[in-house]
Amino acid sequence: MISRRLFLLGISATALSACSTTRQPVVVEPTFDPYYVRMYGPVTDEPYMVAAMDLRRVDPQWWRQEVPYMTTERPGTLVVDTPAHYLYLVLEGGRALRYGIGVGKDEALVFRGNATIGRKAAWPRWTPTKSMIAREPDRYGPYANGMGPGPENPLGPRALYLYKNGADTLFRIHGTTEPYTIGTNVSSGCIRLMNQDIIDLYARVPVGARVTVINA
């Protein structure tokens, strides 16, 4: 007869054997259209490298795409729809190129209406506004005299500066060091695009282009 001790040892051995053959869950990585992988891949022909986007971290609704868009604005106009977190470059034939944007909670919500792109800058210098310094002096105070261009600059690789009646509105359309905040209201800044998107937009619009900003 099998002793109780041997019986229990047999159960233990069987349990251990079962555990050792249990398969671990297989994590299936998502696959992406090669078109978007190229669109948001690394940019290496710049003064500073622009890192590839991890598309797993940004909902596809915020990726750059051409969409139907009926508007009375003429082609070449930028429409910044801050409540919807989209920027549209109006095209011919009821179409637009749509970009996902991040919207600053303060600076981006103080301007609405029409303006023009008064200046463009590649790898711009950044200076925080007085309100930003007052709100977070420890964070922004050290940069009161500005920050030079580079990967850590909050404006990213490109910036479009909006003017009205010849004066700077302090409203900016620019890149970001926090690309995964696209589609949200962020703590500071104006209108942020993913860096690959602001490079694309910058190349498409000239100084003097009309901009209309929709705010809630």
- Identify the active-site residue in 190, 191, 198, 205: 190
Instruction: Calculate the average pLDDT of the chain.
Output: 86
Question: Secondary structure of 75-134 in the HEC alphabet?
Answer: CCCEEEECCCCEEEEECCCCEEEEEECEEECCHHHCCCEEEEEEEEEECCCECCCHHHHH
Q: What ranges do the domains of the chain cover?
A: 34-214
- The residue from 85, 98, 172, 174 that is catalytic is 174
pLDDT tens track for 50-101 = 999 999 999 999 999 999 999 999 999 999 999 999 999 999 999 999 999 9
Name the pTM for this structure.
Answer: 0.83
Q: Domain 34-214 adopts which CATH fold? A: L,D-transpeptidase catalytic domain-like (2.40.440)
Annotated active-site residue 19? The verdict is no
User: What is the distance between the alpha carbons of residues 188 and 23, in angstroms, rounded to a whole number?
Assistant: 47
User: Which band of pLDDT confidence, cut at 50, 70 and 90, is reported for residue 136?
Assistant: confident
